[in-house]
Every structure is written in C-alpha cells, then in structure tokens.
Amino acid sequence: MAEVLGIVTGALQLLGTVLKVVKVYKTIQGICNAAQEQQDLLSEMDILWLLLDELHTLIAANPSSPALQHLNTPLSRFEVVMKDCTAKLQPRDTPISEFCSQLKWPLWTKEEAREYLEKFKQFETLITPLVLLDVQNTTTHILQSVELIRQRQQHQHSFLLDTVESDHVAFFEPHQTEATV
C-alpha cells in the first residue's frame, strides 16, 4: 500500500513539474511573440480608428437621424477605451522599456488586451442595432421619395397626355371663319 501511495505521490509531483514546465514554456513563447502580437493588435486598432472617424462623419452628416445621434455618448466612451488600449500597446521608447513590455505581455498585458477586446465587442453589440435602425430609416425615406417622384411623374404624364389630346382635337377640328358662319 505504501508503494502505491509513493507511486501516486511521485506521479502527482511529476505532473506538477510538467505543468510548471509547460507554463514556463508558454510564458517564454509569449515573450518571444509579444512584439508581433502587440503590432497585430495595433494594426487592428488603426482600422478601428478609421471606422470611428467614419461614424463621426456619418453622425455629423445626419443630424436629423435620432438613431445616429444616440451614438455620440457611446462613441465618446469608446474613444477613451481605444486611446487607453492603444497607449498600452504602443512600442516603448527605449530597448529596456520595450523588453519589460515584452516580459509583461504574457503575464499581465495580454489578459488586459483580452478585456479590451471584450469591451470592443460590447460596443459592437450596442452600435450595430442603432446603425441598422438608421439604415432602415434611410431606406424608408428613400422609398417614400421614390414613390413621391413616381406620383409626380404620373401626374405630369397625365397632364401632358391631356394637353396633347386637346391640342390634337383642336388642330383637326374644322375652323370656323366669319365667312362660313
């Protein structure tokens, strides 16, 4: 029985050691990949900044859209989160601070970046229905405008037909002159 207990204890210690080695390996791998992973996230952040600028332009161009106007406050909060995230991902000024940043990446910063990504997803969940609502409102407005144009064209077409017919009839009717009367 003691042998079995010794074997089990030895196996658990070996498993604990293997898990520690795997954790150290993943940490070292994270340190080695830190600069590239941070750069990849910064590249994605650049795209988000462009999209954010486009949203601001869209909101400014459509002051009568209530759905878009509701985005101003969330956009302001989102900008603060993006600035904070971008600042934490920026390359450092000196080689020592860059090395420290790479050391921190797998231990703390990478998890914090995941938290930022979750905040970005929350913002996406908020903004998508509002933008879709604005698209629906715009589409409805366009359809109403097209229907109004169709009605006006139909009215003008009828008017022109009536005018042509009355002119046609008047042209072909015999003209009465004073001599024939």
Domain residue limits, the chain: 34-137
| CA 176 – CA 174 distance, rounded (Å) | 6
Q: What is the pLDDT of residues 82-99, one digit of tens each?
A: 898 888 777 777 777 777
Q: Name the CA dihedral angle for 103, 78, 122, 57, rounded to a multiple of 10 degrees.
A: -130
pTM of this structure: 0.57
| CA 49 – CA 82 distance, rounded (Å) | 8
Q: Is the pLDDT of residue 47 over 60?
A: yes
Which is more confident, 42 or 102?
Answer: 42
Q: What percent of the chain has pLDDT over 70?
A: 71
Return the structure tokens found at 32.
């080695």
Res 27: pLDDT: 56
Res 145: pLDDT: 94
61, with CB counted inside 10 A (0-12, 13-18, 19+), is exposed
Res 176: pLDDT: 55
DSSP state of 173: S
Q: Is the pLDDT of residue 175 over 70?
A: no
- Alpha-carbon dihedral sign for residues 85, 90, 93, 96: positive
